[in-house]
Structure 1
Amino acid sequence: MNKQYTYPFTAIVGQEQMKLALVLNIITPTLSGVLIRGEKGTAKSTAVRALADILPEIDVISGIPFNLAPDEESDVIRECFAVAGELLPETGTPLLVEKHKVKVVELPVGATEDRVVGTLDLEHALKAGEKRIEPGLLASAHRGILYVDEVNLLDDHVVDVLLDSAAMGVNTIEREGVSFAHPARFTLVGTMNPEEGELRPQLLDRFGLCVHIEGISDPEKRVEVMERRFAFEEDPETFCRAWADESARLVERIAMARKLYSSVSVSRENLMAIAQYCLEVGVDGHRGDIIILKTAKTLAAYDARATVEKQDIDQAAMLALPHRIRRQPLQDIVMDVGSMLKNKACDRVSG
């Protein structure tokens, strides 16, 4: 069987904000994902699928299909082994642990609720008195990336499932009074074309970051896009090999940033700047403040710095606030937060 090659993440021309937002979520999964808005043919799906080659490795308990970490609660591990029909190692015997790359799990727009959540074998439960389940996409996405292309076209019942799991970090499968719950903590990445409709506000708020991308207007860059894509399609193995070193450098930089993140410090002055940003643009609640803080710390770690600077906060606000700014009915998402703040400042001066 011929190997399937994925277009390298580092070979994507332009779209720097999109690539940065995705990398930041690899470094800090608690950023809660990214919504990528843009017209067709702007490498949105290509970029997300290309993440597979630059994602880090994690420890996963082998033998069960739930991507559980070795430090999950013992009751959770025991229950997951049971519903998978596998025997839990005897007390005192260490669990078998494998190294797996973080997964990118794609959720098709037309996926049924059972496909997303999983199904419970009610017949087996009634006959044997034991729970058996067929895990869904949320089980595969635990500790990974759940990718939804055309996320704005998802059925409402699937959106409700995603909202529940994103809020609780748990997926519950229920049927005829029999239920089972397993961890489902994932980074949600969605792509969409705004011309096809907007997202429900509840789901929009679950994305930590939001970027809007457009087709490249520089003719030289557009030619570069064509040349690289043609080279990849003609000989994907050679093309991927040519970008292997740059991909390896990015993987190393991400790994270093993941280690540094927890030690990055933020001054009270910069915390005040974050709060002021959110007040200026009219953000509801406090989620925006927290996401800006995490994003600013991640940007500093990505640049190998141990202290957050004002430039990190400015850049973080551009990524974290567009979809959180209070809007009038039918008003589009305000993507240029910087211009909005300048206009407000000018209004205060002129007033």
Structure 2
Amino acid sequence: MFLAETWAGEARLEQLCGKLRFNHCWVRPSTGKTGCLVLMWKDSVKVNVVSSSPNHIDAIVGDASEAQWRFTSIYGHANPSKEHDSWSLLCDLHRQSSLPWMCAGDFNEILWSHEKLGLGPRKESLMRDFQDVLDECGLMDLGFVGDKLTWKGKWATGLVLERLDRAVANNGWFALNPGTKVQHLQTHSFDHKAIIIKLDGIIPCPNRPFKFEQMWLRDTGCCATVNKAWGSTTQNATMVITAGKIKACGENLLAWSRQSFGNVKKQLEFLGKKLSKAEVAAAIGKLDYKVVKCLKTEVNELLDKESQMWQQRSRALFLKCGDRNTSFSTVKLLIDSVETGLMG
């Protein structure tokens, strides 16, 4: 996992690394007005950091006994007058190795004019320089799934949306990982969207088996739902009858949960899409930014509700079951990270 421009201290980042169940953490300290660059990984992956600077971390993934490849995390110069330094860095890195290579991060530049909305068009010369350096290094864009524009900024003259974050790779890396997909994750709490690179593509999640949620016990509707589904007590009930009642309880609890708890998620998804459309409309001058601010307030209120729901769930399960409920523990940790601003 790569984090760019985070202002948390090295000790706090190492603590976060452990909480997120990573085993190793490489921190490039902040310099001047730029934050830290952080690379985290687990013991299941061998990573050797070769070099780093305020604008990159370069590493070799794998060992000599398997197919090695190279991962470079990038944080490009935000000042257009210093962009040539970012492109010179890419060229220098390109000359250092012939391994399959992937670069990902915030390049702070767009490739094409349609990757920007608001504040007028980007200078052709700046985009052409980015295109030329990728061509010189043999790097091609990996594409994306999700909303196109990954960054938003509010200026006095309006809202700006751009695709600054991406992943690029050379032919050797494409041959090694032909099914790779890059997904832009939806977020309304930060100026940048997180991107996730899935080497095996995006695999649909199978239906999860029924699991009783400890947080349901805090709601009086749970007991009422179970009593209604179970019905009257039957003497000398057979296993078939008991199994049927258990199944009915599970189905009714899931239906009740979707109505009592799932509505927050659905509302958040609906308002999130509405906010994304409003931001695009504001960026091209077709909507007052006040509408965007109102929608953001509604989204933040729902995010608070969702956060409380997950915190209630994760605390109850962790106290009962410890590490057996790792998915809920991980979600809780991610929520805590977001709330304290550790990810940028």
TM over 0.5: no
The structure richer in strand per residue is: 2
The alignment's TM-score, normalised by the length of structure 2, stands at 0.29
Bigger relative CO (Cα 8 Å, ≥ 6 apart): 1
Report which of the two structures shows the higher radius of gyration computed on alpha carbons: 2
The structure richer in helix per residue is: 1
The alignment's TM-score, normalised by the length of structure 1, stands at 0.29
